Structure 1
Amino acid sequence: MAIKQADEGVRATSDKFYDALTQMANGDATAMIELWPHRDDVTTMHPIGGREVGWDEVRGPWQAVADMAEGGKIELSDQIFHVFGDVAIELVTENVSMSLGGESVEGAYRTTNVYHREDGEWHIVHHHTDIDTEFIDIVQRLGDE
């Protein structure tokens, strides 16, 4: 879906988010950590379950998965944006394949991202994907080792 030219900034922020997600799926969480606002009002709900509120909680799963991940590839499909003033919602399917501690993870995750514009700049403030019980099992097994 085309978005208004004035809102291309949200698309650019989404592109940065997915570049950072791909880097995380290849073992490097640096770009993801730099991209997010380090505030108490950011939130995530990952395929590994749970809900993280505030930067201190949000950061943990990004780093933990990066520490186990390699060979990651993320392709997007069905991507649309809805912009409401200074808030934008992105609906997208993340088609993911990666290795976690040598175990293959593949899935198509329905995802909602929320962006907020402050001082003319868009920032991701929420990321929510479907839960994946296989992904949860692998992360738990690797955490027990």
Structure 2
Amino acid sequence: MTDMTIADLRRASDLFYEALAVVLAGEADPMLELLSSADDSSYLGPMGGAIIGWDAIRKAWEDQADSELGGRVSPSDRHYVVGEDIGIVVGWEKGEGHRGMPDEINIRATSTYRLEDGVVKMIGHHTDRLPG
């Protein structure tokens, strides 16, 4: 693959939410496969804090999996912007049924993907919990 397409970006976004479901059930490996291992990657999750670089991001996702939060996260109203080797997805997420958390969590999310050696990899996932 030489240029990212909208279909590639949609598939990567779908894979992210599939991998997130597996993380919530206690396994990080599918998420780690989707993520870029580049040092310029970033993760600003709904629990707060900015995590930069592969080693720290990998540990954050492994720790999330170890906590076995359960529940599910559903995306909605996703908007896709694609360039030659960069793609951005913005939209909303609804979290439900997580252990030790409110019944429902509403989140604003931006995910950034980059084409790396012909494979679409996530280089950023930034979220904000919304009041309510």
TM normalised by structure 1 equals 0.78
More helix per residue: 1 or 2? 1
Give ranges in structure 2 of 5+ residues lacking alignment.
none
How far does the alpha carbon of each residue in 1:108-144 deviate from its partner, in whole angstroms, 9 at most, with x for none? 10000001123432111000000479xxxxxxxxxxx
User: Which residue in 1 is equivalent to 2:75?
Assistant: 76
- More relative contact order, 1 or 2 (CA 8 Å, 6+ apart): 2
User: Which residue in 2 is equivalent to 1:126?
Assistant: 124
Q: How does 1:1-145 map to 2 (within 5 A)?
A: 6-100=5-99, 103-105=100-102, 106-131=104-129
Shift of 1:7: 2.6
Partners of 1:13 and 1:130 lie apart in 2 by 21
Shift of 1:49: 0.9
Partners of 1:50 and 1:70 lie apart in 2 by 18
More strand per residue: 1 or 2? 1
SS of 2:19 mapped into structure 1? helix
Deviating 4+ runs (over 3 angstroms)? none
Which residue identity is paired with 2:105? G
Give ranges in structure 1 of 5+ residues lacking alignment.
134-145
Which residue identity is paired with 1:8? A
Alignment check: 8 A CA contact 2:5 2:82 kept = no
TM normalised by structure 2 equals 0.85
Bigger CA radius of gyration: 1
CA RMSD of aligned residues (A): 2.0
Aligned residues: 127
